[in-house]
Structure 1
Amino acid sequence: MASNTTAVALPRFADKVVIVTGAGSGIGQATARRIAAEGGAVVAVDMNEAGLQKTVDSILEAGGGSARAVVCSVASEESVKALISGVLSTEGRIDSLVNMAGILRSLPTMETSLDLFQQVLNVNLIGTFLCCREALPALLESKGNIVNAASTSAQFGHPYMAAYAASKGGVFALTRTLAWEYLKQGVRVNAVAPGGIMTPMVVAQGESMGGFDMDLFTHLSRPDGVFGAPESVAAVIAMLASNDGAHMTGEIVKVDGGVHN
């Protein structure tokens, strides 16, 4: 069961252009909605065209900021270059890049094919790298910031997630590297590390894991069985991407209900 959270509308993103990848569902969708509610001009990015349209429609219906949808594969260098070029042509600037696009595949390591391992890395790690690399020139101009999607799996040994954990470990390292590399040039780079968040991706994987040794997961879940809501992570992302996070860079912020304390 997801915990209830209430987003408080603040004007922290007025006149700001924010790219949110993975905005078709889950944490990306909640983040796009939160930033728009705070006055941001959101460029919502995903491969899921129907999910993107739902995100944009809900933002326009709620009022506040604005949103438009861009269908893009973050694992494609050509597509990412076109995305950033299009944003600069249409919106004229980029103030924040929120990299939430990702995929999760849970299998015993001995059953994980090279193709599957590479697929996960291509979206979660290479996609994050490509978006960061292409957006950095614009972010240097705006003195903007990046928020990446790491995961508690990068640090705390989640079983059956070799590909996913490896990709998120890469995002962890990439985030810290970029934060130090661009510190003097005024670009902040942080990441969130969600754990136990009820998203469509997590639900889909949970339904496919009935035959696994679930005892291995007992240290990954809260004793009360409560999962966090995507909006809980979106609130942290909004803080990091806004001026409220102005003195934070190179941070990997856990949002896991205290499971990994």
Structure 2
Amino acid sequence: MSLTDKTFIVTGAASGIGRAITLRLLAEGGRVLAMDTDEAGLDALCKDEAKNGRLAAFVGDVARESDVAACVRRTAESHGAIDGIVCNAGIMKRLPVEELSYEDWHKVLDVNLSQSFLFAKHGGPKLRETNGAMLLVSSTRAFMSEADTESYSATKGGLFALAHSLAVSLSPEVRVNAVAPGWINVSGEELRPVDHEQHLVGRVGEPDDIAHAASFLLDNEKAGFITGQTLVIDGGMTRKMIYAH
């Protein structure tokens, strides 16, 4: 497998999409440094998925530059190289715009958007050495919205633009792409038939749907001619016109 013995950083790895991406990269023979603020979640991940030293945890905040720099440094010191960075960590503050504090607005921007800048700044030189790849996790909220999601939607739209901007700046050595998930059942909750039926493929997405796309886009053998792109993974939701009757 072409990801065998490649080294990756995955943020927001303790749960949801980040956890699924981590497990997929391990299944394909990679090594992963899993970063999250959730120390208990990382401990559980490492306990359940110990892979002969191929999985390590780093407790840190992607919105703090010193933590990002330390994560990159630790990965490079442990493995000598970094082949891919997945900027997945994200938060949402769902409040009416007139009630959203400026501090909360900035916190969402720092976690969801600024982390990718920080990892490009500190990890870019290591990725250049390996002809590596970055993957940013955007959202279909970059293109469509629900009420009271201004900070979240702004960050996801920013990631769409940042992906192609970084792809230009880090070329030709480093490829940078993004994925834009739609409705992904990260909690494993029981859903209604109508929830599934509104998708063209007949079901709500699962974290593994994003993980498979992530491993493809990080793979230079399979996706070496793809950069600066955002892949929408939403079961066709954004392609279905909806009219009220």
RMSD: 2.0
Tell me the residue number matched to 1:214. none
Uncovered stretches (5+) of structure 2, i.e. residues with no partner: 240-245
Tell me the residue number matched to 2:243. none
SS at match of 2:34: strand
SS at match of 1:110: coil
List per-residue Cα deviations over 1:52-93 (Å, max 9, x = no partner).
Answer: 122222322xx5882000101010011111111111111111
More relative contact order, 1 or 2 (CA 8 Å, 6+ apart): 1
Shift of residue 183, structure 1, vs aligned partner: 2.2
Shift of residue 156, structure 1, vs aligned partner: 1.4
What CA distance in whole angstroms lies between the structure 2 residues aligned with 1:12 and 1:35? 11
SS at match of 2:204: coil
| Residue identity (%) | 38
Tell me the residue number matched to 1:12. 2
In structure 1, which of residues 31, 49, 52 is the aligned counterpart of residue 21 of structure 2? 31
Tell me the residue number matched to 1:257. 235
- Name the count of aligned residue pairs: 232
Tell me the residue number matched to 1:193. 180
SS at match of 2:69: helix
Aligned pairs for 1:156-175 within 5 A = 156-175=144-163
Shift of residue 199, structure 1, vs aligned partner: 1.7
What CA distance in whole angstroms lies between the structure 1 residues aligned with 2:197 and 2:170? 37
Tell me the residue number matched to 1:77. 65
Uncovered stretches (5+) of structure 1, i.e. residues with no partner: 1-10, 204-217
Decide whether the 8 Å contact of 1:33 with 1:55 is kept in 2.
no
Matched AA of 2:18: G
Tell me the residue number matched to 2:208. 231
In structure 2, which of residues 99, 118, 136 is the aligned counterpart of residue 148 of structure 1? 136
Tell me the residue number matched to 1:40. 30
Moved over 4 A (4+): none
TM-score between both structures, scaled by the size of structure 1: 0.84
